[in-house]
Structure 1
Amino acid sequence: MNLFDEPDDNALSEDELDRYARHIVLPQLGAVGQKRLKKARIGVVGAGGIGAGIIPALVGAGIGKITLVDDDAVSLSNLQRQWLFTTDDIGSGKAPLARRFAEARNPHVTLDAHAVKIDEANASDLLAGHDLVIDGTDNFATRLLVSDTCVALGIPLISAAAQQLQGQVGLWRAKPCYRCFVGDAFDAEDCDTCAELGVVGALTGMVGNMAAMMAIRFIAGIGDEDASTLHLYDGMTNRWRPIAVPPDPACKACA
């Protein structure tokens, strides 16, 4: 048996070749890139407005294993922006509902749903072993916890946030980290969230899709890695603006 006859454990089935045909014909991605997506393990923290943009995109793209962490239940006010859910889902847990969505959408994807609150006691266990983590939560305390955990585990992180008419998304590779950008002032859990300040529903979906696109590019090896650049969106001007974030030599996570 020569190299070309050896079995490919990550081979694409006939169904997958059909399902991902629009990916496979792309010269920048192709079958090689699609196999990388199939092999990938991505952790997603948050199934809210941003998660509603991230999860369908990752499931549709064929990410092989997705771990979702979210302890929240669907409320009526969520439906303005959290398009994974329906009115009939009010009161039900978001994580199992997202798993149901993934199972119905793509049988080649495994979504492991954890209906728990991520905290210092469980963060390492929940996030370890992933190729990439995407954070779409709505408060600084959780974002910083996820970032610090990813730094400690050596896992790349995409952090995405949206509030009012402003959005931001960036890829962080250990140093600088998300804390280098935010600092230490927002570790408390009483910081403002979109519940207090409001948010346009379409904005969360756009930021979530941007995060998913960044993840697909990272996993498949498409284009520049673009780490340590924060992409800021202004809904008033409808413009994106990239800014480079330098390492903080006093950062308590990555310094």
Structure 2
Amino acid sequence: MPLPPLVSPVDALSDAERTRTHRHAALRGFGELAQRRLAAAHVAIVGAGGLGSPAVLALCAGGVGTITVIDDDDVDVANLQRQVLHRHRDIGAPKVDSAVRAGADLSPETRVDARRERLDATNAAHLLAGADLVLDGSDTFATRTIVAAECERRGLPLVWGVVQEFHAQVTVFWSAPPAGREAVVLADLHPPELVGEAPSCTEVGVLGALTLQVGAIMAVEALKLITGVGEPLLGRVLLVDALAGRSTDVPLHPTAERRRGVVEASEPAAPAVPDAYAAAPPQLTLAEMRTAIADEGAVVLDVREPHETRGGGIDGAILMPLGDLLADPSAVAATAPVVVVCAKGLRARRAAEALRERGVDARVLAGGLAAWT
């Protein structure tokens, strides 16, 4: 269901801006009121690379009033395969300069605030000050963790996207959503204790056109949050498989540990209800997994995508992509323990949590297959 608009509208649009954005005004349920909200909005974008580039273009063209673009990097020739904000003549120049130019070219009334800085724990509060919401297109998980923490501290919605190879994820985190909606944060999707640094684009590559698609989806989520039009991805993760031409959204809820922490902090203590599977899924080493298979008849469930499993896996494993499992966890009706595996362990953790909520004794191969090959 839609959320309340994030931003109050400006009193009026200029004649020039009303003409420029007329196709928005013609949208049913959008109209000039929503456009006036966009004109009043301040969006911060972390990163002017593969995801930040299309987001900057879309939000400028859409008529967002103020956009802060944060990036300390210069344009490299290898960026041009996917970072469509930049041109060949920009090589060697600051990436944020491209954002300023694009803003002026697309939407003269949009103010682009260029910050040529690397966001870190010491300046995050300063760089994100005044923003109504944040889009994270940064390139390291360390930076993403800092951005998420600052958004949680401020209660700002965070539009989050990531692309690697042919796959992508997009969601909305919000630690203080409107009443009636569950707070979801980065740790619910990527628990800190399980996160390692993912391979870089240099190491494994990225489909350039997919970054345009995902950056545009992130921009759409921002527009929906600002205007209160449509249903944002809060509590859902959009999974994009470019090779299969398939997009699937799966539910995302607070982890069991954080849900209990929220309840304990906000409600009077209640008698504990025993639940054998409420705790986080146990992590098994490869040797422990083999013991579980041999001694307990454990079943191995591989939640990687088909193009990954074609490259090999564990003999006898049941193959079920994460999106399929989360869409219907009841499809795994195991009476024996289940050991869930994926490439690095993150998807396995999400799958195991969904199974444990249904009473399945689900465990996870710690570190995923990459840790043991």
Q: TM-score, normalised by structure 1?
A: 0.91
Pair 1:86 & 2:94 matched: no
In structure 2, what residue type is equivalent to 1:243? V
The answer to which of 31-40 and 191-200 deviates more is 191-200
Give the equivalent residue in structure 1 for 2:247: 240
Among 194, 197, 204, the alignment partner of 1:197 is: 204
Give, in angstroms, the shift of residue 9 of structure 1.
5.1
* Distance of 1:92 and 1:187 partners within structure 2: 33
* Distance of 1:103 and 1:250 partners within structure 2: 47
1:234–1:156: structure 2 CA closer, same or farther, 3 Å change rule? same
Give the equivalent residue in structure 2 for 1:5: none
* Distance of 1:121 and 1:23 partners within structure 2: 39
- The CA RMSD measured in Å over matched residues stands at 1.8
CA deviation map 1:136-167 (0-9, x unaligned): 11221111111111001110000011110001
* Distance of 1:214 and 1:9 partners within structure 2: 21
In structure 2, what residue type is equivalent to 1:180? D
Conserved? CA contact 2:136–2:161, under 8 Å: yes
Conserved? CA contact 2:46–2:138, under 8 Å: yes
Secondary structure at the residue paired with 1:130?
coil
Structure 2 gaps of 5+ residues are: 1-8, 176-182, 263-373
Conserved? CA contact 2:97–2:114, under 8 Å: yes
Conserved? CA contact 1:233–1:239, under 8 Å: yes
The answer to which of 148-157 and 95-104 deviates more is 95-104
* Distance of 2:26 and 2:14 partners within structure 1: 16
* Distance of 2:90 and 2:200 partners within structure 1: 23
* Distance of 1:233 and 1:215 partners within structure 2: 18
Secondary structure at the residue paired with 1:37?
helix
Conserved? CA contact 1:46–1:135, under 8 Å: yes
* Distance of 1:208 and 1:156 partners within structure 2: 16
Give the equivalent residue in structure 1 for 2:191: 183
Pair 1:34 & 2:50 matched: no
Secondary structure at the residue paired with 1:159?
strand
Give the equivalent residue in structure 2 for 1:63: 64
Give the equivalent residue in structure 2 for 1:3: none
Give the equivalent residue in structure 2 for 1:163: 164
In structure 2, what residue type is equivalent to 1:131? D
> Post-superposition, which runs of at least 4 consecutive aligned residues in structure 1 deviate over 6 A?
none
Give the equivalent residue in structure 2 for 1:73: 74
Q: Which structure has the higher relative contact order (CA within 8 Å, separation 6+)?
A: 1
In structure 2, what residue type is equivalent to 1:178? L
Give, in angstroms, the shift of residue 223 of structure 1.
1.6
Give the equivalent residue in structure 1 for 2:229: 222
Give, in angstroms, the shift of residue 224 of structure 1.
2.0
* Distance of 2:21 and 2:51 partners within structure 1: 24
The answer to which of 126-135 and 113-122 deviates more is 126-135
* Distance of 2:79 and 2:98 partners within structure 1: 14
Give, in angstroms, the shift of residue 185 of structure 1.
4.0
Give the equivalent residue in structure 2 for 1:15: 16
Give the equivalent residue in structure 2 for 1:106: 107
1:37–1:186: structure 2 CA closer, same or farther, 3 Å change rule? farther
1:152–1:228: structure 2 CA closer, same or farther, 3 Å change rule? same
1:184–1:225: structure 2 CA closer, same or farther, 3 Å change rule? same
Secondary structure at the residue paired with 2:79?
helix
Secondary structure at the residue paired with 1:111?
strand
* Distance of 1:94 and 1:144 partners within structure 2: 22
CA deviation map 1:64-109 (0-9, x unaligned): 0111100011001000011111111111100122112212221110
Pair 1:139 & 2:140 matched: yes
Secondary structure at the residue paired with 1:73?
coil
Conserved? CA contact 1:173–1:228, under 8 Å: no
In structure 2, what residue type is equivalent to 1:24? A
* Distance of 1:193 and 1:182 partners within structure 2: 17
Give, in angstroms, the shift of residue 128 of structure 1.
2.5
* Distance of 1:56 and 1:42 partners within structure 2: 13
Give the equivalent residue in structure 2 for 1:122: 123
Q: TM-score, normalised by structure 2?
A: 0.63
Give, in angstroms, the shift of residue 186 of structure 1.
6.6
* Distance of 1:89 and 1:33 partners within structure 2: 34
1:164–1:119: structure 2 CA closer, same or farther, 3 Å change rule? same
In structure 2, what residue type is equivalent to 1:101? A
Conserved? CA contact 1:177–1:228, under 8 Å: no
Secondary structure at the residue paired with 1:38?
helix
